[in-house]
Amino acid sequence: MGNAHKAAANVNAATDTTPGAGGSPLSSPTTPHEQPPRSTIWGVAGAIAWRGVHTYVRRPELSIPSLVFPLIFLASFAGGLSALGSVPGFDFPAGYTAFQFVFVLLQASMFSGLFTGFTIAFDFESGFARRLMLAAGNRRGVALGYALVALTRATITLTVVTGVALLAGMQITGDGVDMFGLYGLAALLVLVGFGWAAGVAFRFRTIQAGPLMQTPVFLILFLAPVFVPLPLLRGWIHAVASVNPATAFLDSGRGLISGVHNHTALAYVCAVALICVFTLWTLRGLRAAERAG
Amino acid sequence: MSPSLITQVGALAQRSVLKTLRQPFQMFPIIFFPAILLIINASGLHAATLLPGFPTHSYVSFAIAVAFIQGAMFSLINTGTNLAEDIETGFFNRLALTPLRRVSLIAGLLVGVAALGAMQSAVYILLGVVVGAHLDAGLGGALVVIVLGSLTALAFSSFGCVAALRTGSSEAVQGLFPLFFVFIFLSSSNLPRSLLKTPWFHTVATWNPISYLIEGFRSLYIFGWDKTALLRGFGVAIGLLVLGLLAVQWAMRTRLQRT
């Protein structure tokens, strides 16, 4: 049994109060020289990730909406707005489907992180997260474990979305390295979305904080050049989109899929900076949750 | 309608309206989300007006029709959630045990929804004025928009009642929201059907009744008095209402048998 499975067993045992359920985590079978897996950050993270992914796969009411929403966006934007590809001044080498695919990909990435924030909030409401904090030797592993859940969820969603887009005839004019860069950016945005949502979830510890997790991300994404490139936007939205970091993400992603790089370095720098900020936000939230008991 | 039935329906309609108006978290999405989406889409999709064949130079006048449909969708969720909460708390069962006529149990709720639908339509018309939408049909057109908005909210809400009566769970009703929202996405909400170039999307939007509701509202803003678009819009709203009420009747029978 690997460390993650051992730690999962410990966490489950610690949280299961039924008679004969396996006893206390203190009675976990470890030798005096072996550090209990639940006390290492990766042991705790692995246990939480295993449980989170297991729950996600086993419960269609969790997995289906996170798969269906990006597909609806892709169908609605790439299918319903394809005429925008012939607007004067619109010149994107890979076509309108690829143009919108990048938005859907990056949006789905951030929302995979957000939905994991919902899971944390739900776990606090049900009392599971509090028991988990008692059982975990290293509580930073709790946050890390949920981050791994977010990345795994995103991997499933992005695979499905990419498959559907390719079946719908999406063109990719970038090369393999460009695509690696695109999915690397998507992975960073999963962590950005997760960092924000986890910080909120640890502070409020209720699912009612859901709108606070979603609404700012939703607004930031839609205040970027979603439907047409930045030069075709007019008025206030052009001014807002020009300073919105989501514009750099979209420009970079579209540049990578088409092979015509645009703001790639800026997007990566913004994403890494946001991850640093939201890591602090999450860890401080975790401390707030610890103080709350 | 006997005076007692009018009294019963009136009392329950008043409760329905007050219950929504007194809960800011129910009013907030009705006003905030359609408004913010209208403002963002009107700016972000303004370039669509450059397409040959686009019917107007003002995208906000084109897009405001969607706000009325989104408002009706929120009515569906709020009505269904309120009814499901009444079922969960036992209030609905206690009402059913009183001498109230069965028809007034739901009729009261739906009359309240119609009143709220008219109010939210008036708010969207004012919002349109603020953001620069031009109502080509004038004051008379505004009244027709309010009537169509109220009818649409009523029709959608009847489906919310069906969901509540069948499931008895407010959580289940909320879970249906994305399902209904798909109908807006797969319609002529962002571009006219003549400019939907992807064949499968054009077919889906043509078969989607929501397209005709949107085009009914939109015609008053862009074309003035377009008889065909209005007849289709009202036809879809009335058709959905009839279907919804038949489904409510069936769901009520099952629910009261359980009670």
Average pLDDT on A41-60 reads: 86
Query: How far is B231 from chain A, CA to nearest CA, in Å?
Result: 25
User: What value, to the nearest 5°, has the Cα angle with vertex A282 and ends A277 and A283?
Assistant: 100
Average pLDDT on B175-204 reads: 87
Query: How far is B114 from chain A, CA to nearest CA, in Å?
Result: 28
Average pLDDT across chain A, whole number: 84
B211-242: pLDDT as tens digits: 999 999 999 999 999 999 999 999 999 999 99
For B:46-75, CB contacts with A below 8 A are 46-48, 50-51
User: What value, to the nearest 5°, has the Cα angle with vertex B117 and ends B113 and B119?
Assistant: 120
B148-162: pLDDT as tens digits: 999 999 999 999 999
Q: Could A80 and B50 be called an inter-chain contact, meaning their C-beta atoms sit closer than 8 Å?
A: no
Q: For A237, which of B44, B182, B191 is closest by C-beta distance?
A: B44
Asked if pLDDT for residue A41 goes beyond 90, the answer is: no
What per-residue confidence (pLDDT) applies to B258? 60
Is the CB of B134 inside 8 Å of chain A's CB atoms?
A: no
Res. B1 pLDDT band, cuts 50 70 90: low
Instruction: Report d(CA A72, CA A79) in Å as an integer.
Output: 10
Q: Which domain holds residue B30?
A: 3-255
Task: Extract the tokens encoding B98.
Answer: 């009183």
For CA atoms A161, A166, A170, A173, give the dihedral sign.
Answer: positive
Average pLDDT on A42-66 reads: 84
> Which strand (E) or helix (H) includes residue A46?
helix A41-58
B86-123: pLDDT as tens digits: 888 888 888 888 877 777 788 888 888 888 899 999 99
Alpha helices in chain B (DSSP H): 3-21, 24-44, 59-89, 91-97, 102-131, 138-167, 170-175, 177-185, 199-207, 209-222, 227-258
What per-residue confidence (pLDDT) applies to B3? 57
For B:204-223, CB contacts with A below 8 A are 205
Tell me what ipTM this predicted complex has. Answer: 0.75
What per-residue confidence (pLDDT) applies to B208? 95
Kindly list the residues from chain A whose CB atom is less than 8 angstroms away from the CB atom of residue B197.
82-83
Of the ranges A26-40, A82-96, B19-33, which is most confident?
A: A82-96
Contact (CB, 8 A) for B15 and B112: yes
Q: Among A29-43, A141-155, B148-162, where is mean pLDDT lowest? A: A29-43
Q: Which of B180, B178, B198 is nearest to B188 (CA)?
A: B198
Is the CB of A233 inside 8 Å of chain B's CB atoms?
A: yes
Res. A27 pLDDT band, cuts 50 70 90: very low
Q: How far is CA B28 from CA B34, B35, B120, B128, B160, in A?
A: 10, 11, 12, 18, 19
Q: Could A219 and B36 be called an inter-chain contact, meaning their C-beta atoms sit closer than 8 Å?
A: yes
Average pLDDT across chain B, whole number: 88
Contact (CB, 8 A) for A161 and A173: no
Contact (CB, 8 A) for B116 and B42: no
Is the CB of A283 inside 8 Å of chain B's CB atoms?
A: no
Number of structural domains in chain B: 1
A153-176: pLDDT as tens digits: 999 999 999 999 999 889 999 999
Asked if pLDDT for residue A83 goes beyond 60, the answer is: yes
Cβ-based neighbours of A159, under 8 Å, separated by 6 or more: none
> Which strand (E) or helix (H) includes residue A265?
helix A264-292
Kindly list the residues from chain B whose CB atom is less than 8 angstroms away from the CB atom of residue A73.
185
What per-residue confidence (pLDDT) applies to A34? 55
What per-residue confidence (pLDDT) applies to A30? 47
Res. A18 pLDDT band, cuts 50 70 90: very low
Is the CB of A83 inside 8 Å of chain B's CB atoms?
A: yes
Asked if pLDDT for residue B256 goes beyond 80, the answer is: no
Q: Who wins on pLDDT, B54 or A1?
A: B54
Is the CB of A63 inside 8 Å of chain B's CB atoms?
A: no
Q: Which of B38, B171, B177, B185 to mutate to probe the A interface, most A CBs <10 Å?
A: B185
Is the CB of B32 inside 8 Å of chain A's CB atoms?
A: no
What per-residue confidence (pLDDT) applies to B152? 95
Q: For A75, which of B186, B189, B191 is closest by C-beta distance?
A: B186
Res. B8 pLDDT band, cuts 50 70 90: confident
Average pLDDT on A228-232 reads: 91
Q: Could B47 and A233 be called an inter-chain contact, meaning their C-beta atoms sit closer than 8 Å?
A: yes
What per-residue confidence (pLDDT) applies to A33? 52
Is the CB of B257 inside 8 Å of chain A's CB atoms?
A: no
Asked if pLDDT for residue A146 goes beyond 80, the answer is: yes
What per-residue confidence (pLDDT) applies to A79? 87
What per-residue confidence (pLDDT) applies to A155? 95
Kindly list the residues from chain B whose CB atom is less than 8 angstroms away from the CB atom of residue A84.
45, 47-48, 51
Between chain A and chain B, the number of residue pairs with CB atoms below 8 A apart is 81
Q: For B196, which of A80, A222, A232 is closest by C-beta distance?
A: A80
Res. B9 pLDDT band, cuts 50 70 90: confident
